[in-house]
C-alpha cells in the first residue's frame, strides 16, 4: 500500500515538472498541445513516457490536456492558424530547366493557402489556391509545393520574382525568388 502511494507521488511530481517545462501552466485554458511545438521537451517526454507508460496520458487527461503527435490532423485545435517559420523556395537561385523549385513552409494546422507569384514590377505571373486539408500546400505540418504549379508549367525568364502566401486575405509570408536561365 505504501509502495502504491509512493509511486503515485513520483508520478505526480514528474508530471508536474513536465507540465512546468513545456509551459502548460501558461496556457492551461487551452485544451490542446502539439508535440511539434515542444520539440525541446520531446526527448524528456519520451523518457518520462517510458517510465510512466500509460499513466501519463491518464494524468494529462485528468488535467484536461491532450497530447497530439506529429501528423495528427489538428483540425479541432483552438490555436490560431498560422505559418510557423519562413516560407522558402529551394533551390534559390534556381533554374527551371535543371531544378524543380519548390516553396516549403510549415503550417500549425490545416489552412486554405493562396500563393501568388509576381514580377519585381508587381505584375502577377502565377497563382494557386490550396484548399485546407485537401492537398499538399494546405496541410498541418511541413508542405512543399512546386513553383511550376503556380505557373501552369511555364518557365520564367531569368531575374527576380516575389511570392506571397495569403491566408484569409492577409499576407503571411513574402520572399524573393531568383531564377537563372
At residue 48, the 3 state secondary structure works out as: helix
Instruction: Please give the Cα distance from 155 to 38 (Å, whole number).
Output: 40
Interface mask (CB under 8 A) for another protein, residues 118-157, using x and -? xxxxxxxx----------------x-x---------xxxx
At residue 84, the 3 state secondary structure works out as: strand
Q: Does 47 bind another protein (CB under 8 A)?
A: no
Q: Does 55 bind another protein (CB under 8 A)?
A: no
Interface mask (CB under 8 A) for another protein, residues 71-90, using x and -? ---------------x-xxx
Cis amide bond preceding 93, omega within 30:
yes
Residue 77 burial by Cβ neighbours in a 10 Å radius (0-12, 13-18, 19+): buried
Q: Does 23 bind another protein (CB under 8 A)?
A: no
Choices 16-24, 27-35, 40-48, 92-100 (CB under 8 A): range interacting with another protein: 92-100
Greatest pairwise CA separation for the chain in angstroms = 77
Interface contacts to another protein, rule CB under 8 A: 86, 88-93, 95, 97, 104, 106, 116, 118-125, 142, 144, 154-160, 162, 164, 166, 171, 174-181
Amino acid at each position: 500500500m505504501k509502495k502504491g502511494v509512493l509511486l503515485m507521488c513520483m508520478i505526480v511530481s514528474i508530471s508536474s515538472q513536465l507540465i512546468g517545462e513545456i509551459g502548460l501552466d501558461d496556457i492551461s485554458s487551452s485544451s490542446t498541445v502539439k508535440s511539434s511545438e515542444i520539440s525541446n521537451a520531446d526527448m524528456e517526454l519520451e523518457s518520462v513516457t517510458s517510465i510512466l507508460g500509460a499513466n501519463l496520458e491518464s494524468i494529462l487527461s485528468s488535467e484536461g490536456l491532450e497530447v497530439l503527435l506529429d501528423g495528427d490532423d489538428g483540425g479541432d485545435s483552438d490555436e490560431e492558424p498560422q505559418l510557423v517559420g519562413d516560407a522558402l523556395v529551394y533551390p534559390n537561385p534556381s533554374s527551371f530547366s535543371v531544378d524543380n523549385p519548390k516553396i516549403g513552409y510549415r503550417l500549425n494546422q490545416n489552412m486554405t493557402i493562396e500563393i501568388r507569384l509576381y514580377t519585381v514590377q508587381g505584375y502577377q505571373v502565377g497563382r494557386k489556391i490550396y484548399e485546407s486539408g485537401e492537398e499538399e500546400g494546405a496541410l498541418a505540418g511541413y508542405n512543399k509545393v512546386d513553383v511550376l504549379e503556380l505557373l501552369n508549367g511555364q518557365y520564367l525568364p531569368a531575374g527576380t520574382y516575389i511570392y506571397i502566401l495569403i491566408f484569409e486575405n492577409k499576407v503571411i509570408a513574402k520572399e524573393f525568388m531568383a531564377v537563372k536561365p
